[in-house]
């Protein structure tokens, strides 16, 4: 059986979609949240308004995760390492699919790299691509990417995870998939700030394009395949996240641009990824001005208005 570990918006939505194929487990850290979701058949905190099919077994018992052959790890990127430190040994031999989009600030590793380092005996993969939990949970058509270095395992996962509304493409370029998924969140924050500040759609299109150039430069440094960045996990997700108010990263940026507060309980992956990638880019001398400015605003070194002004007044150069 497939078990989804992590009962946030995304984990719950994936469980709802997978339930169309058969029984699925949903492990939540909080016993109270699991008890309530199991009883009222709804995750009212993270995915309100979506009924949980009866064949989703909700539990806070970690043994349900250890008993599964395939585990989808739907935790935020900054939580994955501590989860693996705690439970990694019990996950060896399994097929593990990270569903997080981000770079771990401590180790600068993406989700698949963390899995490979911390559970070397597992088959490690990543689920990524343009997809909002709310859309998946409503059964709207969604195309995703499964990234797995072991292509046979990738094919198996592709088939096991496809549902009537989720369509999976596949790649063996886990590095490219990690980078695309993580960096698009940083560019989405900048895009939100640009719109929030009132700079308009043309400026946003410029920002997205220059952000994509940064993504490609970092991917080239890590020898990721250029075409991975052109696909769902890169360009596809960049487009979605930089243009939709369903995105938390984009809404976070909007609030920055408007000088409004933002709900701190929401997961905004791009904040942490900007810090990790800006440090890495500085160390390796990779030109990533958008990421640098987002990190500077996060660190309180720059005001968001000054950061946007700096972006607009960069030296003239070739495209
Ligand atoms: N929500 C979406 O639309 C969406 C879509 C695609 C990808 N993702 C990715 O999925 C990941 C999770 O996002 P989300 O939207 O589900 O976030 P969320 O904030 O809705 O939920 C995160 C969940 O993780 C749980 N959690 C945190 N630390 C944990 C730990 N150590 N052990 C167990 N559980 C823990 C929390 O209790 C919470 O239920 C992110 O990396 C995000 O980028 C989200
Ligand atoms: O809400 P966000 O900004 O975390 O985006 C969710 C997904 O990653 C979009 O593909």
ipTM of the predicted structure? 0.99
Q: What tokens does 220 get?
A: 């080239």
Which one of the ligands is nearest to 98 CA?
A: 1
- Return the DSSP state at 316: P
Report the DSSP pairing between strands 123-128 and 142-148: antiparallel
Residue 283 CB partners (closer than 8 Å, separation 6+): none
Select from 45, 50, 51 the least CA-distant residue to 28: 45
Degrees (nearest 5) of the Cα angle 148, 273, 292? 130
Tell me the backbone φ, ψ of residue 154, rounded to 5 degrees.
-60, -40
Distance 73 CA to ligand 1 centre (A): 9
Specify the pLDDT at position 183.
98
> What average pLDDT does the structure give for the chain?
97
- The pick from 14, 136, 249, 272 for probing ligand 2's pocket by mutation, whose C-beta has the most ligand atoms within 8 angstroms, reads 249
Specify the pLDDT at position 106.
96
Q: What percent of the chain has a predicted confidence (pLDDT) above 70?
A: 100
Question: Any binding-site annotation on 139?
Answer: no
Domains, the chain, with CATH or none: 2-172 (3.40.50.720), 184-313 (1.10.1040.10)
Instruction: Please give the order of strands across the beta sheet that includes 24-27.
Output: 56-59, 24-27, 2-5, 70-73, 95-98, 123-128, 142-148, 166-171
Tens of pLDDT along 194-243?
999 999 999 999 999 999 999 999 999 999 999 999 999 999 999 999 99
Which one of the ligands is nearest to 233 CA?
A: 2
Render 56-96 in DSSP notation, one character per residue: EEEE--THHHHT-SEEEE-S-HHHHHHHHHHHGGGGTTSEE
Could you tell me the sign of the dihedral formed by the alpha carbons of 286, 235, 110, 294, in that order? positive
Distance 269 CA to ligand 2 centre (A): 9
- Packing angle between helix 289-298 and helix 200-221, nearest 10 degrees? 100
Tens of pLDDT along 142-175?
999 999 999 999 999 999 999 999 999 999 999 9
Specify the pLDDT at position 148.
98
Q: Are 209 and 309 in contact (CB under 8 A)?
A: no
CA-CA distance, 238 to 183, in Å (whole number)?
8
- Mean pLDDT, range 117-136, rounded to an integer: 98
Tens of pLDDT along 298-312?
999 999 999 999 987
The answer to whether 184 is a known catalytic residue is: yes
Residue 232 CB partners (closer than 8 Å, separation 6+): 128, 129, 130, 143, 144, 145, 169
- Packing angle between helix 269-284 and helix 248-258, nearest 10 degrees? 80
Specify the pLDDT at position 311.
85
CA-CA distance, 189 to 291, in Å (whole number)?
10
Q: Which atom of ligand 2 is nearest to the CA of 241?
A: 9
- Mean pLDDT, range 274-285, rounded to an integer: 97
Q: Which atom of ligand 2 is nearest to the CA of 249?
A: 3
Specify the pLDDT at position 230.
98
* Whether residue 314 has pLDDT greater than 80: no
- Return the DSSP state at 40: H
Could you tell me the sign of the dihedral formed by the alpha carbons of 53, 47, 272, 308, in that order? positive
Tens of pLDDT along 36-69?
999 999 999 999 999 999 999 999 999 999 999 9
Specify the pLDDT at position 35.
98
- Mean pLDDT, range 253-279, rounded to an integer: 97
Three-class SS of residue 155?
helix
């Amino acid at each position: 059986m497939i078990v989804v570990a992590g009962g946030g918006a995304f984990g719950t939505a994936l469980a709802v979609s997978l339930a169309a194929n058969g029984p699925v487990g949903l492990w939540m850290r909080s016993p109270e949240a699991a008890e309530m979701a199991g009883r009222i058949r709804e995750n009212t905190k993270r995915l309100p308004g979506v009924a949980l099919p009866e064949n989703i077994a909700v539990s806070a018992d970690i043994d349900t995760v250890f008993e599964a052959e395939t585990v989808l790890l739907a935790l935020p990127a900054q939580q994955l390492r501590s989860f693996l430190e705690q439970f990694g040994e019990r996950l060896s031999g399994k097929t593990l699919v990270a569903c997080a989009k981000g770079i771990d600030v401590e180790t600068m590793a993406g989700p698949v790299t963390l899995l490979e380092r911390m559970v070397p005996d597992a088959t490690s993969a990543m689920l990524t691509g343009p997809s909002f939990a709310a859309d998946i949970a409503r059964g709207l058509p969604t195309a995703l990417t499964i990234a797995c270095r072991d292509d046979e395992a990738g094919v198996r996962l592709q088939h096991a995870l496809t549902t009537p509304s989720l369509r999976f493409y596949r790649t063996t370029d886990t590095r490219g998939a990690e980078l695309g998924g993580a960096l698009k969140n940083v560019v989405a924050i900048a895009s939100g700030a640009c719109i929030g500040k009132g700079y308009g759609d043309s400026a946003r299109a410029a920002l997205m394009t220059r952000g994509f150039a940064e993504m490609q430069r970092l991917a080239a440094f890590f020898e990721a395949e250029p075409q991975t960045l052109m696909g769902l996990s890169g360009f596809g997700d960049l487009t979605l996240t930089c243009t939709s108010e369903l995105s938390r990263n984009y809404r976070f940026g909007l609030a920055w641009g408007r000088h409004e507060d933002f709900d701190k309980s929401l997961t905004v992956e791009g904040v942490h990824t900007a810090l990790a990638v800006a440090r890495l880019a500085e160390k390796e001398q990779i030109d990533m001005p958008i990421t640098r400015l987002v990190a500077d605003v996060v660190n309180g070194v720059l005001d968001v208005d000054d950061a946007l002004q700096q972006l607009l007044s960069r030296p003239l150069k070739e495209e």
